[in-house]
């Protein structure tokens, strides 16, 4: 995840202290109403809106309704600095949905898994996905695939014909583009998956050979990229957040592999399928 950058911090996305919805000590009815209407992960308890010594905790079972489970006092482990980079905070939500945030020794806000749906986090994800795309195109081109023609790109004739028309049009208007630059994201992924030198290198790094299905499961980010680009809610529930954590980690993993391949001398092999 740190491969995606540390531009933003928790304070950029958190609910600031003055905007936290809280209830008075002992007001379980108000807490239940908030959870029922807004499905919050946690309802802080406070007498003054400044100090939050306890919380109503909730659970959201699969195919069930989010409900309050217990009331408990807050502890040191419930707090993180609001200066924590988002890329670092991301890893802190593996087993829990919320944290109170600190600035100095005072509570400054509240962050939940839902705040990773923010524009700021989406920007970081898009930066990582764009890096994957850039490295993938460059890798194919440096191995002689898709430079001035479709040579070396193992894609269907229908796809190549469509890209060829686009490539010729772009060259007439602007010039200088590589053929591989006109491929759609999912076709770049497909061409890379079928590129033998890359697959051999990847298998050597992993210490095992991946089937095509395994490769697609690990490194095809097309659907996730579409969700990021089109502003869809990435983590509607905490279960989705946990499931997509591995996808986001794999973006960074693939960047590592692509960087390592790019550092090698260019393949002396002719373009291959």
Helix axes 185-193, 119-142, angle to 10 degrees: 50
Which pLDDT score, from 0 to 100, does residue 63 have?
86
- Give pLDDT tens digits for 108-156: 999 999 999 998 999 889 999 999 999 999 999 999 999 999 999 999 9
- Cβ atoms of residues 228 and 122 within 8 Å: yes
H-helix or E-strand spanning residue 253? helix 238-262
How far apart are alpha carbons 99 and 112 in whole angstroms?
Answer: 6
CATH for 2-117 (3.90.1300.10, 3.60.20.10, 3.10.580.10, 3.20.20.70): 3.10.580.10
- Give pLDDT tens digits for 12-67: 999 999 999 999 999 999 999 999 999 999 999 999 999 999 999 999 998 899 99
Tell which wins on pLDDT, 242 or 265.
242
List the chain domain ranges.
2-117, 119-262
**Predicted structure pTM score:** 0.84
- Cβ atoms of residues 247 and 221 within 8 Å: yes
Average pLDDT over residues 224-242: 91
């Amino acid at each position: 995840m740190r491969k995606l950058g540390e531009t933003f911090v928790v304070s950029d996305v958190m609910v600031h202290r003055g905007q936290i919805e809280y209830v008075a000590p002992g007001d379980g009815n108000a807490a239940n109403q908030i959870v029922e209407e807004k499905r919050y992960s946690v309802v802080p308890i406070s007498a003054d809106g400044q100090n939050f010594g306890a919380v109503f905790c909730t659970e959201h079972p699969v195919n069930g309704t989010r409900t309050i489970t217990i009331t408990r006092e807050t502890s040191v482990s419930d707090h993180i600095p609001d200066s924590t980079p988002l890329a670092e905070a991301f890893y802190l939500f593996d087993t829990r949905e919320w944290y109170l945030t600190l600035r100095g020794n005072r509570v400054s806000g509240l962050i939940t898994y839902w705040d990773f749906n923010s524009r700021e986090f989406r920007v970081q994800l898009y930066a990582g996905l764009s890096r994957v795309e850039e490295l993938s195109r460059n890798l194919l081109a440096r191995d002689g695939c898709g430079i001035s023609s479709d040579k070396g790109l193992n894609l269907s004739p229908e796809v190549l014909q469509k890209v060829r028309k686009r490539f010729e049009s772009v060259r007439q208007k602007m010039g200088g583009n590589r053929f591989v630059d006109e491929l759609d994201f999912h076709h770049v992924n497909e061409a890379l998956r079928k590129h033998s030198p890359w697959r051999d290198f990847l298998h050597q790094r992993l210490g095992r050979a991946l089937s095509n299905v395994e490769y697609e499961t690990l490194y095809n980010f097309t659907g996730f990229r579409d969700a990021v680009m089109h502003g869809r809610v990435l983590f509607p529930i905490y279960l989705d957040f946990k499931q997509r954590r591995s996808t986001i980690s794999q973006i960074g993993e693939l960047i590592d592999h692509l960087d390592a391949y790019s550092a090698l001398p260019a393949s002396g092999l002719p373009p291959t399928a």
